[in-house]
Amino acid sequence: MTQQVPTLDIRRFATDKDNFVAEIGKAYTEFGFCGISGHGIPDAVVENTYQAIKQFFALPTDVKAKYHTPGQGGARGYTAVGVEKAKDSKHPDLKEFWHVGRELSGPAPHPSLYPNVWPTEVAGFKAATYALYTALEQLGNTVLEALALYLGQQQNYFADKVHYGNSILRAIHYPPIKDTSTQSIRAGQHEDINLITLLVGSNEAGLEILRRDGSWLPVTTIEGTIVVNIGDMLQRLTNHLLPSTTHRVVNPAGIAASEPRYSIPFFMHPNPDYVIDTLKTCINEQQPNRYPQAINSNDYLMQRLEEIGLIKKP
Ligand SMILES: O=C(O)CCC(=O)C(=O)O
Ligand SMILES: [Fe+2]
């Protein structure tokens, strides 16, 4: 039987907690990925965001370029095709994207929490995308509660570590592929940097994860499922108990190459001044601490953004 990334109904976290926690832990230790259904995010919240981002990406290149802020590593607003590449890859990804960050009600608790920019050309862009940001953050908090229990911590372990996290909603447009002889792919193989990623729109073909035997497994889920995967920060915190699984987005074959693809990952980050120090519950004689040196999460992020071409080395 071909293996599949499992899908779990998040409502069971309230009704069947112990089993749910065991099952989600098993899914992550095996795959680093899990589909989440029963999340209650209305279709309209997702659909409104897709409408808004499709309108934005359809704007002329020079209009979109106005929304790129130099020196921020693409943290907010627009990043053009050809800028981001996977770590260790020679070829840039075939994608452009827009980043929405946290809206702050007062002064920024950390300088990396930049203000958002919003495109004036698309009516309702902020309302639509920020509604999705908020909904995904809430779902992410619930997934982190389940993972905290799996890791032998209090359910609310992550709450005060993410409440002003520098989380980012990334709306991605992979344009139709005109040059089918290109060496680039839509998203070169990589691991996500953050704690967890919640991916909306993964029911469109193309996403694949790397299995331990070296094969690529397509992630196929039914519509409405949100795929949630572990990123490098959580892998590091858990001493690789929860693996940050390598994944990529491949170019479609044949006629499908002329179709665009859209997807919306939400990269959930800890507070920028949170220090990632390996959990004691994840260290033992068989699994000695791989990271005896703790690291500030914003410093870690900066190192990683350099590797993928989003910020220049100082
Ligand atoms: O587009 C997708 O399905 C995945 C994108 C992704 O892996 C990323 O942006 O980190
Ligand atoms: Fe990714």
Q: Cβ(305) to ligand 1 under 6 A? A: no
* Closest by CA position to 225, among listed 56, 4, 26, 3: 4
How far, in Å, from the CA of 15 to the mean position of ligand 2?
Answer: 31
Structural domain includes residue 35: yes
Phi first, then psi: what are they for 10, rounded to 5°?
-65, -20
How far, in Å, from the CA of 198 to the mean position of ligand 2?
Answer: 10
Are 61 and 44 contacting, i.e. CB atoms less than 8 angstroms apart? no
Structural domain includes residue 2: no
Q: Which spans in the chain are helix H?
A: 12-15, 17-31, 43-57, 61-65, 125-150, 159-162, 232-237, 297-307
Ion ligand 2 contact residues with beta carbon within 5 A: 192
* Closest by CA position to 263, among listed 73, 126, 118, 97: 97
How far, in Å, from the CA of 191 to the mean position of ligand 2?
Answer: 6
What is the domain count for the chain?
Answer: 1
Are 104 and 195 contacting, i.e. CB atoms less than 8 angstroms apart? no
b/e per residue 271-283 (b: at least 16 CB within 10 A) = bbebebebbeebb
**Closest atom of ligand 1 relative to the 248 alpha carbon:** 7
Q: Cβ(233) to ligand 1 under 6 A? A: no
Structural domain includes residue 314: no
Q: Cβ(169) to ligand 1 under 6 A? A: no
pLDDT of residue 222: 86
Residue 246 is part of which domain span?
7-103+111-307
| CATH at 231 | 2.60.120.330
Structural domain includes residue 1: no
Structural domain includes residue 312: no
Give dist(CA 37, CA 133) in Å, integer: 18
pTM attached to this predicted model: 0.96
**Closest atom of ligand 1 relative to the 170 alpha carbon:** 9
* Closest by CA position to 143, among listed 305, 8, 314: 8
Q: Cβ(249) to ligand 1 under 6 A? A: yes
Give dist(CA 24, CA 117) in Å, integer: 36
pLDDT in tens, the chain (314 residues): 458 999 999 999 999 999 999 999 999 999 999 999 999 999 999 999 999 999 999 999 999 999 999 888 889 999 999 887 778 788 888 999 999 999 999 999 999 999 999 999 999 999 999 999 999 999 999 999 999 999 999 999 999 999 999 999 999 999 999 888 888 899 999 999 999 999 997 567 899 999 999 999 999 888 899 999 999 999 999 999 999 999 999 999 888 889 999 999 999 999 999 999 999 999 999 999 999 999 999 999 988 888 887 877 66
Probe residue for ligand 1, chosen from 263, 267, 305 as the CB with the greatest number of ligand atoms within 8 Å: 263
Element spanning 263, H or E: strand 261-268
Phi first, then psi: what are they for 247, rounded to 5°?
-145, 170
The residues facing 268 across adjacent strands are 196
**Taking the CA of residue 21 as centre, how many other CA atoms within 13 Å lie in the half-sphere pointing to its CB?**
17
Residue 35, classified by CB atoms within 10 Å of its CB into exposed (0-12), middle (13-18) or buried (19+), is buried
Which SS3 state, helix, strand or coil, does residue 58 take?
coil
pLDDT of residue 102: 97
| Nearest CA owner, ligand 1 atom 8 | 265
Structural domain includes residue 84: yes
Token digits for 207? 């996403």
Structural domain includes residue 99: yes
Phi first, then psi: what are they for 276, rounded to 5°?
-85, 110
Phi first, then psi: what are they for 23, rounded to 5°?
-70, -40
**For residue 264, which amino acid is it?**
I
Structural domain includes residue 60: yes
Question: 289-295 long-range contacts, Cβ below 8 Å, gap at least 24?
Answer: 289/239, 290/236, 290/239, 290/240, 291/236, 291/239, 295/236
